Structure 1
Amino acid sequence: MIPVLRRIGVPAATVLAVIGLGIFTRAGTADAATYTLPPANAKFDYQIGAAYTPPSGVKVVSRDRTATPAAGLYNICYVNVFQTQPDEIAWWQANHDDLLLKDSSGDYVIDGDWGENLIDVSTAAKRTAVAAIVNGWIDGCASKGFKAVEPDNIDSYERSEGLLTKANAIALLKLVAPHAHDKGLAIAQKNTTALGSAGKSAGLDFAIAEECGRYSECGDYTAVYGSNVIVIEYTKNAFTKACNGFGASLSVVLRDVNVTAPGSGTYKYDSC
């Protein structure tokens, strides 16, 4: 349950929650902003791999920050905060190589599954520098008309060869979440049940959970965010499991793992 009043971001800031509407006002700043959570249990589509006309009845869609929001829908802006997008590694190396995580031999630390460099958020100075970049992307999301932000790879510390910690990740979220709110955007916890309630305490508003049905984790998210949880499954069995357990109260979809567009040959979509 969302309390009527809760503190976010910086000590001077308070949030007024309008229960039932999911509308929040960030006060205590010169430019107060209102942000709205995605409607709970609304039909959702996950389009971070490619943007396309959403299936009939979809109310909420998530797209990459480089894409244009879907007209007339609640749009969530995907931002890879804790790792690089594969096609942006050269930009990071040329402009912010000091912010790419390196091991004791000076080699880049890579997420081998997706070919993404990990971002170094190990110190306050580096987190401040990373936040400046990310918050610029968030500004772009807001100017395009997105209503929320989806910061991915919060759990990169688990792939960091022990060089990063969960506390490092939470500290960066505390720099990013208030900025999203100031721009009129809600902000999601993407995966990472290990955060417990720490993500919400850092200012996150709802959850986007990949494969929580498959791994029996959906209840971990609802314990923190109630019905403000969006579930993506990549196998039919896990999708059916998530629908049976949570489909009456949460947005649950089936997608192909590469989140491709119709006509790709691998495209899959279903909802319950």
Structure 2
Amino acid sequence: MTRLPALLFVLAVLTACSAPAPHPDPRPGERWRPAQGTTWQWQLDGRLDFGVDVPVYDIDGFENDAATVRRLHDAGRKVICYLNAGAWESFRPDHRDFPAAVLGRPNGWPGERWLDIRRVDVLRPLMAKRFDLCRAKGFDAVEPDLMDGYLNDTGFPLTARHQLTYNRMLAELGHERGMSVGLKNDLPQIPQLVGDFDFAVNEECFQYDECAALKPFADAGKAVLHVEYAVPPAEFCPRARALGFSSMAKRLDLGAWRRPC
């Protein structure tokens, strides 16, 4: 071996050793997905109630530790990691990592401001860390919230195209880490995004007469995890069952209380 090829060989070995290990990119069939019509619990506030007899829990990714996820797994449940992907939250441990330039107007929830989702260069690594947190704690799936900033007064000139790019980036982050990802609301873009996401999460489609927009998920055999806050279950449950939705009544604080269909 001559000196130059030997040097190139050493450099190649050093580069391979120093390069970060890629995230696994499992085949789609290897990711868990909630089954269409499955019952679920969505609790983001208060002491977690482990006693709800459902196969799927959706809980806050920051507020719950790996032991909590493991306990749910030991009880035979799958667990979805709730994350806010569309707004900055002053109360999260990573809030200082977000530069001021990407923080927009308040979104109506205390301590939250819309994010400039055009800045994928800034937000992708920040969201990747959040998805890594979900994976490290053992979650099976991710529910990124506020995926429809372009429909709101964020302080930025966001377009539907910006939202499509950002939402697909979030789906990719989850899939790279072996987790399924749900599309939260963003009803107008469901036809373009149903192929990118594994299930849907929706609030109040019956309240606002929007449930037909979720039909592409149902037609694709994918779960629609759905809640209503104001409409009585007697009014929406028969229609929700007919659509194949996983529906329940919840209170707006998303505590332990639930009334399933």
User: Shorter-chain TM-score: which interval?
Assistant: 0.7 to 0.9
Q: Distance in 2 between matches of 1:143 and 1:162?
A: 33
Residue 199 (structure 1) shift? 2.0
Deviations along 1:221-268, one digit per CA (max 9) or x if unpaired, are: 12334351011111242x33331102252211111101124xxxxxx3
Q: Distance in 2 between matches of 1:228 and 1:168?
A: 26
Q: Secondary structure at the match of 2:83?
A: strand
Partner residue in 1 for 2:157: 163
> For residues 165 and 144 of structure 1, do their structure 2 counterparts lie closer, same or farther at Cα, with a shift above 3 Å needed?
same
Deviations along 1:32-81, one digit per CA (max 9) or x if unpaired, are: 42212112212111112245224442111100112132332111111100
> For residues 174 and 236 of structure 1, do their structure 2 counterparts lie closer, same or farther at Cα, with a shift above 3 Å needed?
closer
CA RMSD in angstroms comes to: 2.3
> Aligned residues: percent identity?
23
Partner residue in 2 for 1:81: 85
> For residues 95 and 146 of structure 1, do their structure 2 counterparts lie closer, same or farther at Cα, with a shift above 3 Å needed?
closer
Structure 1 gaps, min length 5: 1-28, 103-108, 262-267
* 8 Å CA contact retained: 1:188, 1:204: yes
Q: Secondary structure at the match of 2:80?
A: strand
Q: Distance in 2 between matches of 1:221 and 1:200?
A: 9
**4+ runs of 1 displaced by more than 6 Å?**
none
Q: Secondary structure at the match of 1:121?
A: coil
1:95 correspondence with 2:97: yes
Partner residue in 2 for 1:245: 239
1:269 correspondence with 2:255: no
> For residues 64 and 112 of structure 1, do their structure 2 counterparts lie closer, same or farther at Cα, with a shift above 3 Å needed?
same
Structure 2 gaps, min length 5: 1-21
Q: Distance in 2 between matches of 1:86 and 1:260?
A: 21
Partner residue in 1 for 2:215: 222
Q: How many residues align?
A: 225
Partner residue in 2 for 1:231: 226
Matching residue's letter, 1:175: M
> For residues 221 and 54 of structure 1, do their structure 2 counterparts lie closer, same or farther at Cα, with a shift above 3 Å needed?
farther
Paired residues for 1:152-191 under 5 Å: 152-157=145-150, 158-161=152-155, 163-191=157-185
Q: Distance in 2 between matches of 1:62 and 1:256?
A: 15
Q: Distance in 1 between matches of 2:164 and 2:47?
A: 30
Q: Secondary structure at the match of 2:194?
A: helix
Partner residue in 2 for 1:105: none
* 8 Å CA contact retained: 1:206, 1:225: no
Deviations along 1:61-102, one digit per CA (max 9) or x if unpaired, are: 1001121323321111111001023413x953x432244334
> For residues 84 and 30 of structure 1, do their structure 2 counterparts lie closer, same or farther at Cα, with a shift above 3 Å needed?
closer
Q: Distance in 1 between matches of 2:98 and 2:109?
A: 23
Q: Distance in 2 between matches of 1:258 and 1:220?
A: 25
Query: Larger helix proportion, structure 1 or 2?
Result: 2
* 8 Å CA contact retained: 2:247, 2:260: yes
* 8 Å CA contact retained: 2:88, 2:98: no
Partner residue in 2 for 1:207: 200
- The structure number with the bigger radius of gyration is 2
* 8 Å CA contact retained: 1:148, 1:187: yes
* 8 Å CA contact retained: 2:24, 2:178: no
Matching residue's letter, 1:270: R
Corresponding residue to 2:113 among 109, 114, 117: 117
* 8 Å CA contact retained: 1:64, 1:78: yes
> For residues 55 and 240 of structure 1, do their structure 2 counterparts lie closer, same or farther at Cα, with a shift above 3 Å needed?
farther
Deviations along 1:107-145, one digit per CA (max 9) or x if unpaired, are: xx11124541111122xxx21220111111111111212
Corresponding residue to 2:255 among 257, 260, 264: 260
